[in-house]
Homo-oligomer: A and B are copies of this chain.
Amino acid sequence: MAAEQEAEGRAAARPLLSDLYQVTMALGYWRAGRARDPADFELFFRRCPFGGAFALAAGLRDCVRFLRTFRLRDGDVQFLASVLPPDTEPAFFEHLLALDCSEVTLRALPEGSLAFPGVPLLQVSGPLLVVQLLETPLLCLVSYARWDPGLPGEDWAPWGGAWTSGEWGPSGLIATNAARLRLIAGPEKRLLEFGLRRAQGPDGGLTASTYSYLGGFDASSNMLAGQLRGVPVAGTMAHSFITSFSGTEVPPDPMLAPAADQGPRVDLAACVEAWLERVCAHLGLGAQEPHRGERAAFVAYALAFPRAFNGLLDTYSVQRSGLPNFLAVALALGQLGYRAVGVRLDSGDLLQQAQEIRRLFRTISAQFQVPWLESVPIAVSNDIDEEELARLAQEGSEVNVIGIGTSVVTCPRQPSLGCVYKLVSVGGQPRMKLTEDPEKQTLPGSKAAFRLLGPDGSLLLDVLQLAEEPPPQAGQELRVWPRGAQESCTVRPAHVEPLLRLWVQQGQLCEPLPSLAESRAFAQLSLSRLSPAHRRLEQPALYQVALSEKLQALVDRLSARGPL
C-alpha cells in the first residue's frame, strides 16, 4: 500500500494544472521586484449552495498535502518558457524552479465545520508570487477536493516531491449536499451513495464517495473509496446479472450446506422450486409465471452469497416474477438457516411498492412462520432527488435503504460552489477590489473570525474583524455591522469560538489533521447546533455574518476613496 501511494504521489504530479494568468502575473511581480512581498489571500464563497443557509467546510487535508508537495519541475518550466515571451529572462525560470511553500502559512476552518458566506475557509500567507500561484489549485481543491488519508500528521516531510494530485472531486459542495439529503432522510434511513458512474471521472467519483460519507451517508458502492479512504462499501447485483440467466444453465454445484454447518448439503435449486409452488399458491399465481432466468440468477447469487442474499425485483415484473422468485429463494435459504438481507426496487412507484412488499412479507411471514422475513430491509434507487427522498422518508414509509447516485454526486441544483481567492493585504497594507458589481467587492485586510454563541450553545452570528483586534469576550457586549445591513447592532455572546486554526506555519504542519471519521462526526455535531430556522433547506433564515466596527470603518474608508 505504501509503495502504491508513493507511486500515486509521484505520478499524479500536476504543477501546471493552473491558469496561465497565474504565471503571466508571476512574471509581472518578478519583473517589478515584488515576488517576495509578504501577501495574504483569503478563500471564501459568496453564497451558500442549493438555496440553503449553510455549507460544510471540506478539502483541508488536500490543501495541506498540496502545499507540502508544490514544486515546479524542469518539464513544467520548459513548457512555460514555450508560452511566455521569448526574451523572458532565464533568472525568472530559475526563480520558478526554486519555488516551494516553505514560507507559506495556512489557517483554515476545520473539516466538517459550518461555513458561511464571506468567512474565510482558508487564509494563505506568504511571498506574493507563490501565494498567487496557489490560487487555482486551492480553488480546485476546496470547491472540489480529494481526501487522501495517506498523510498522517507524523508523515509530514519537508518539501520533497512534486505537487501530488491523485484524484479530487467536489468536497465542500458534496459534503453540504450529502448533509442536506441526510437532514431530509432523518437519522434512521440507511443512505447509500451509488454515483460513481455519474461523477466527473475518477477524481469526482472518489471524492464524491468520500465527502458524501463525511456529510452523513452510510456507505458507497465505490470500491476505491473503500480501499483508499476506508469508506464502508455496499452492493449486490444489477439487472444484467439477472438478464444474463435464461434458466437453462446448469450450475456446476447447486448444493448448499446449512448455515450451522450441520446436516447434509441440499440442492438449493430443487428446494427453491418446491418453495415456489407454495409461494405461488399463496399469491394466486401460476408457478410458470415467475421468470425462470430471474430465479436461476437469484439461486446463483444465493449460492455465492448464502449469508447475504439480496434480490433486485424489477427486471421483468415485481409482482408476478421478482417477488415470488425472491420469496422462494429466501424461504429455501431460511430452511437451511440463512436469512435474506434485502430486496431492491429500481423502477416504478418506489414508496407504494415498498408498502405492498412489506404487507406481503408480513402475510408470508405469518403463513410460513418465518418471523425474520417481515423485517427484511427494502432498498430503493432510481434517480432519487431531494423531493423524492422526502416522499420516501415520510412517516410510515416501509423503505429502509435509499441508494442515491446522480443527485448526490453531480449536485444538479448547483454544480459549483463558486469559491473565490482574493488578495486582502500586501506588505501589511489592506487591499480591496471595488468593481462594477457591489457583490464582487472584497473585504480588505488580514482578518480573524469568531463564532458567537448563546448560553445554550446555539449559534448567534459569525464576526469578522481585523487580525490585530482583541478577540470578542464571552459575556461582553460587542457592536458589530451585519453584512448588508445599514446599521450596526450589539450582541452579548455567552461563548466565543475562534474559527480559523493555524494548520501550517512557514511550511511546517502545526497539528495532526483529524481522520475522516472524526470529521464526519464533527459535521453532524456542527449541524445539530444550527437552529432549525437556519437548518431548514427551503427558504431558511439567513445566518448573519457581521464585521467589527474597525473592519467596517476600513471598508468604508477604502470604498469612499473610490477609484483613487
Measured CB to CB, the residues of A under 8 A from B are 1, 4, 7-14, 16-25, 27-34, 37, 39, 41, 75-76, 79-80, 83, 85, 128, 132, 135-136, 139-141, 143-146, 165-170, 194, 196-207, 221-224, 226-227, 233-246, 249-253, 288-292, 297, 300-301, 303-305, 307-308, 314-318, 320-321, 345-349, 353, 382, 406, 409-412, 414-416, 418-419, 421-423, 426, 429, 431-437, 440, 442, 562-564
Contact = CB atoms under 8 A, between A and B. Distances in A.
B200 A200 contact: yes
B19 A201 contact: no
B433 A200 contact: no
Given A11-B8, A16-B224, A251-B33, A236 B203 contact: no
Contact of A201 (B13, B76, B144, B304): B144
Given A10-B11, A204-B203, A246-B429, A233 B20 contact: yes
Contacts of A132: 240-241
A386 to B, nearest CB: 15
B423 A4 contact: no
Contacts of A221: 19-21
A268 to B, nearest CB: 11
Contacts of A16: 223-224, 226-227
Nearest to A318: B436
Contacts of A435: 239, 314-316, 346-348
Contacts of A200: 144, 168-170, 199-201, 203-204, 207
A95 to B, nearest CB: 13
B28 A300 contact: yes
A202 B76 CA distance: 16
B303 A32 contact: yes
A379 to B, nearest CB: 12
Given A143-B197, A203-B203, A423-B244, A321 B563 contact: yes
Given A200-B204, A353-B436, 15 more contacts: A16-B224, A18-B223, A25-B238, A27-B304, A28-B237, A32-B245, A37-B244, A80-B223, A83-B233, A167-B167, A168-B200, A197-B419, A200-B201, A347-B437, A406-B418
* Residue among A29, A244, A250, A307 having the largest count of chain B Cβ atoms under 10 Å: A244
Given A8-B12, A20-B223, A416 B406 contact: yes
A20 B165 contact: no
Contacts of A194: 19
A440 B433 CA distance: 52
A505 to B, nearest CB: 23
B304 A28 contact: yes
B203 A202 contact: yes
A92 to B, nearest CB: 9
A250 B41 CA distance: 23
Contacts of A436: 314, 317-318, 345, 347-349, 353
